[in-house]
């Protein structure tokens, strides 16, 4: 598995209108271009401090990512994280 760095842009509750909802979206932008064959991007649960619910979703430009988590992460906008990814063979 290879890694890439990303900078946190937001850490927001998925549905703020539902008080019991404890699903959060961490959004980040990649610091370097993501390889075109990168698949299944995951965050280290120790680094983000919470459990990731599914593989992260990229935007159409492949420059930003959304990580769905169970509970709010301690991460704040501007912090850096490392994301792991596999390459399609």
> 80: which residues sit within 8 A by CB, 6+ positions away?
5, 6, 7, 8, 31
Q: What is the C-alpha to C-alpha distance for residues 15 and 50, in angstroms, rounded to an integer?
A: 18
CATH of the domain at 35: 2.40.30
Looking at the 3D structure of the chain, how many domains does it have? 1
Q: 64: closest CA among 24, 10, 28?
A: 28
| Number of residues written out for the chain | 89
Q: What is the C-alpha to C-alpha distance for residues 50 and 37, in angstroms, rounded to an integer?
A: 27
Q: Which tens digit of pLDDT belongs to each residue from 5-31? A: 999 999 999 999 998 889 999 999 999
Give the domain extent around 8.
2-87
What one-character DSSP code corresponds to residue 73? -
Q: Which tens digit of pLDDT belongs to each residue from 32-88? A: 999 988 888 999 999 999 999 888 888 888 899 999 999 999 999 999 999 999 888
């Amino acid at each position: 598995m290879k890694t890439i760095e990303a900078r946190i842009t937001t850490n927001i509750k998925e549905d703020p209108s539902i008080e019991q909802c404890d699903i959060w979206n961490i959004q980040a932008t990649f610091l370097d271009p993501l390889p075109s064959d990168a698949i299944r991007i995951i965050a280290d649960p120790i680094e983000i401090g919470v459990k990731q619910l599914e593989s992260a979703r990229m935007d159409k430009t492949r420059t930003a990512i959304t990580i769905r988590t169970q509970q709010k992460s301690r991460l704040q906008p501007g912090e850096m994280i490392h994301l792991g990814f596999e390459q399609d063979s």
